């Protein structure tokens, strides 16, 4: 008796590379379609979205390289949740699915995933999916980002994997429930339509690859792409010294009591395998900082791409050698209905920073000090007295201004750049003023002496926004108490800060970092100051010429700051006095005894125990 088998096609390098880039191009075209058709500013200006192509099992084949990295791990889990709920036998051409549940592969509820199966000659061969941050999904605060939420139900409408189109026909009852639970139903309808249009574009491009190469070659290419990513990452992991790495850091607060939240990390590296273990982290809290496990996994994956090689093709194969464990019921693997609204925007940032910092002793030339550490989400909402249609209508604006990254081994930190979990953009003043009752009164750099190092941290920004209509503001951010950490002798950076100046007043007063629905009156001005990144290396090792340049450019306030922080003496012309600088630095080093970061949290330092030794390195 014989069994017929189909031989797997052998792919040449050129065909494989064409297929690999073809899948990336599919993702990019999906993103372009969404950007050109979406209704919301956070979509088409902020670019808070991502796209992916998946095989029939939900494995990630490719992602838009300009999308949000945090979706790398989370979106495949959402697709797999849909497969588990319905089964591939209950999926048909024309079906479209939607999900935002944080415990079903979601990130936080405003991030809505839309995906659809791709069929070829009657057979399901893969999926096209995208995820975008919707302006509002209901809940206790406009913008659905209540930093003081105590359970998931307060954040907004929870949607498990459901069909919103079946065999090409809209599921109007399901869509009606969604639109009835959001503050901006027209926006939501338009953005979901943009996501569906993106999926349809991706399906056509997927079909083009199948028409050109045939199903067998494309399937073989998918397997090889995933295997290629695996080999790339294993090669990079093997370069990291074997041993155990540990690091600890904190969230400012649990969101309710003001108690800081501890996150502990142990990294075990052996050969081409690496495990990130979050045992020892605090139990899940009642506040909103809990991080869904899918986001915890995605945070580790982002950190590994940053520490190794960001050009590794981001398929699921890139992470088969990267393992993540976290005890259930902890702040990094909570059980429902724990609130997770800022688990993505804040805790995720902390996890990325921690993974990178923990590996600093083993690969100091490939790490970065602490960055702004938050998405800095501020949501404003109210009702226009006369909207574009001529009648009162609700409005919601989401502000997430960027800040400073930490210094690196070979350069200063980047200035006014988004946090590492996303590739979102600073929203233009003109777009904000055109779309909402807001006026941008100031948009400038935030500089200072914080974040000093051999390579200093990048600077934040200052944005003053006047509201021209009565509204409410909700804040959801971290790093407002505990600053971004310096690394390997660098100073800590500066914290994020929010203030408000009431109409008729000349003084700014603080705004709390986690509170919902604070009243603003027309004429009030909100000031947002984003963080300065931590420094890398001893400030006394910074090139004196760079210090002099920082003073000239206004990044350092004056020659006194250059002397006090960096031990650099400038003459009356602003040039470096080399002899005086050498003498002062020698004096400062002698008085200090040894290089240590100037920080209120000295325990935030990486510890490394080599696999073949017994000593610890700090």
Range in 29-33, 56-60, 588-592, 608-612 with the lowest mean pLDDT: 588-592
588-591-592 Cα angle (round to 5): 85
Q: What is the DSSP code (8-state) at residue 89? A: G
Rounded distance between C-alpha atoms, residue 487 and residue 363, angstroms: 12
- Count of other CB atoms within 10 angstroms of residue 612: 7
Q: Between the CA of residue 588 and those of 493, 564, 581, 582, what are the distances in Å?
A: 21, 10, 10, 10
Report the relative pairing of strands 111-120 and 471-476 from DSSP bridges: unpaired
For the segment 40-72, what is each residue's pLDDT rounded down to a tens digit?
888 888 788 999 999 999 999 999 877 788 877
Q: Where are the beta strands (DSSP E) in 385-524?
A: 393-399, 438-446, 460-467, 471-476, 497-501, 509-510, 514-520
**Model pTM greater than 0.75?**
yes
Q: What is the pLDDT of residue 70?
A: 83
Rounded distance between C-alpha atoms, residue 360 and residue 458, angstroms: 19
Rounded distance between C-alpha atoms, residue 171 and residue 193, angstroms: 13
Q: Between the CA of residue 311 and those of 235, 315, 351, 478, what are the distances in Å?
A: 13, 11, 21, 30
Rounded distance between C-alpha atoms, residue 326 and residue 353, angstroms: 17
For the segment 424-434, what is each residue's pLDDT rounded down to a tens digit?
777 889 989 99
Percentage, residues of the chain above pLDDT 90: 83
For 451-472, give the DSSP string: T-SSBPPPPEEEEEEEESS-EE
Whether the predicted pLDDT of 5 surpasses 80: no
Asked if residues 462 and 433 have their Cβ atoms less than 8 Å apart, the reply is: no
Rounded distance between C-alpha atoms, residue 198 and residue 206, angstroms: 12
For the segment 388-426, what is each residue's pLDDT rounded down to a tens digit?
566 788 999 998 899 999 999 999 999 998 888 877 777
Rounded distance between C-alpha atoms, residue 585 and residue 591, angstroms: 10
Give the residue with greater pLDDT, 47 vs 206: 206
For the segment 557-573, what is each residue's pLDDT rounded down to a tens digit?
999 999 999 999 999 99
Q: What is the pLDDT of residue 46?
A: 78
Asked if residues 394 and 184 have their Cβ atoms less than 8 Å apart, the reply is: yes
The H or E element that residue 313 is part of is none
The H or E element that residue 263 is part of is strand 261-270
User: Where residue 577 falls among pLDDT bands split at 50, 70, 90?
Assistant: very high
Rounded distance between C-alpha atoms, residue 451 and residue 239, angstroms: 29
Summary count for the chain: helices (H), strands (E):
13, 21
All residues at 6 or more sequence positions from 359 whose CB lies less than 8 Å from its CB, including other chains: 240, 245, 267, 307, 366, 367, 606
Chain centre distance of CA 293: 15
Chain centre distance of CA 155: 19
Q: What is the mean pLDDT of residues 484-497?
A: 95
């Amino acid at each position: 008796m014989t069994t017929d088998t189909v031989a797997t096609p052998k792919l040449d390098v050129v065909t494989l590379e064409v297929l690999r880039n073809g899948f990336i191009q599919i993702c990019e075209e999906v993103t372009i379609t969404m950007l050109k058709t979406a209704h919301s500013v956070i979509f088409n200006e902020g670019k808070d979205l991502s796209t992916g192509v998946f095989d029939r099992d939900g494995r990630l084949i490719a992602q838009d390289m300009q999308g949000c990295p945090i979706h790398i791990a989370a979106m495949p889990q959402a697709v797999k949740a849909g497969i588990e709920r319905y089964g591939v036998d209950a999926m048909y051409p024309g079906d479209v699915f939607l999900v935002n549940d944080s415990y079903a592969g979601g990130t936080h509820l405003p991030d809505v995933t839309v995906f659809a199966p791709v069929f070829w000659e009657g057979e399901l061969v893969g999926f096209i999916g995208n995820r975008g941050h919707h302006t509002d999904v209901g809940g206790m605060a406009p913008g659905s980002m209540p930093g003081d939420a105590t359970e998931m139900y307060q954040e907004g409408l929870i949607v498990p994997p459901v069909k919103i189109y079946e065999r090409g026909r809209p599921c109007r009852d399901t869509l009606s429930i969604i639109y009835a639970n959001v503050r901006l139903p027209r926006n939501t309808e338009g953005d979901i339509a943009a996501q569906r249009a993106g999926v349809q574009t991706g399906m056509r491009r997927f079909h083009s690859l199948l028409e050109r190469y045939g199903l067998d070659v494309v399937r073989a290419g998918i397997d090889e792409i995933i295997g290629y990513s695996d080999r790339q990452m294993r090669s990079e992991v093997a370069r990291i010294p074997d041993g155990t790495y540990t690091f600890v850091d904190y969230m400012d607060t649990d969101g309710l009591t003001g108690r800081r939240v501890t996150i502990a990390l142990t990294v075990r590296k052996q050969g081409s395998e690496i495990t990130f273990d979050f045992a020892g982290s605090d139990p899940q809290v009642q506040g909103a900082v809990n991080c869904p496990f899918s986001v915890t996994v995605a945070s580790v994956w982002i950190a590994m791409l940053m520490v190794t090689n960001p050009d590794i093709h981001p398929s699921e194969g890139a992470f088969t050698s990267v393992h993540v464990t976290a005890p259930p019921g902890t702040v990094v693997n909570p059980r429902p209905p724990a609130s997770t609204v800022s688990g993505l925007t804040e805790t995720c940032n902390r996890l990325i920073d921690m993974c990178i910092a923990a590996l600093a002793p083993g690969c100091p030339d490939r790490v970065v000090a602490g960055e702004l550490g938050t998405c800095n989400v501020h949501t404003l909402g109210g009702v226009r007295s006369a909207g574009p249609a001529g009648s009162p209508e609700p409005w919601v604006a989401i502000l997430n201004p960027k800040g400073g990254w930490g210094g690196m081994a070979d350069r200063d930190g980047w200035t006014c750049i988004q946090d590492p979990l996303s590739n979102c953009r600073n929203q233009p003043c003109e777009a904000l003023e055109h779309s909402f009752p807001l006026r941008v009164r100031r948009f400038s750099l935030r500089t200072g002496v914080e974040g000093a190092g051999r390579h200093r941290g990048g600077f934040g920004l200052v944005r003053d926004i006047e509201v021209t209509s009565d509204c409410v503001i909700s804040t959801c951010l971290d790093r407002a108490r505990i600053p971004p950490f310096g690394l390997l002798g660098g100073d800590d950076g500066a914290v994020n800060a929010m203030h408000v100046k009431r109409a008729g007043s000349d003084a700014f007063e603080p705004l709390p970092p986690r509170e919902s629905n604070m009243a603003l009156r027309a004429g009030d001005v909100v000031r947002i100051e984003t963080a300065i990144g931590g420094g890398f290396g001893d400030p006394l090792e910074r090139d004196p010429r760079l210090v002099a340049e920082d003073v000239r450019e206004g990044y350092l306030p004056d020659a006194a700051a250059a002397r006090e922080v960096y031990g650099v003496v400038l003459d009356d012309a602003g040039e470096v006095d080399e002899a005086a600088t050498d003498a002062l630095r020698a004096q400062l080093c002698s008085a200090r005894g040894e290089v240590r970061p100037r920080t209120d949290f000295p325990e935030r330092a990486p510890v490394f125990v080599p696999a073949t030794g017994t000593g610890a390195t700090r």
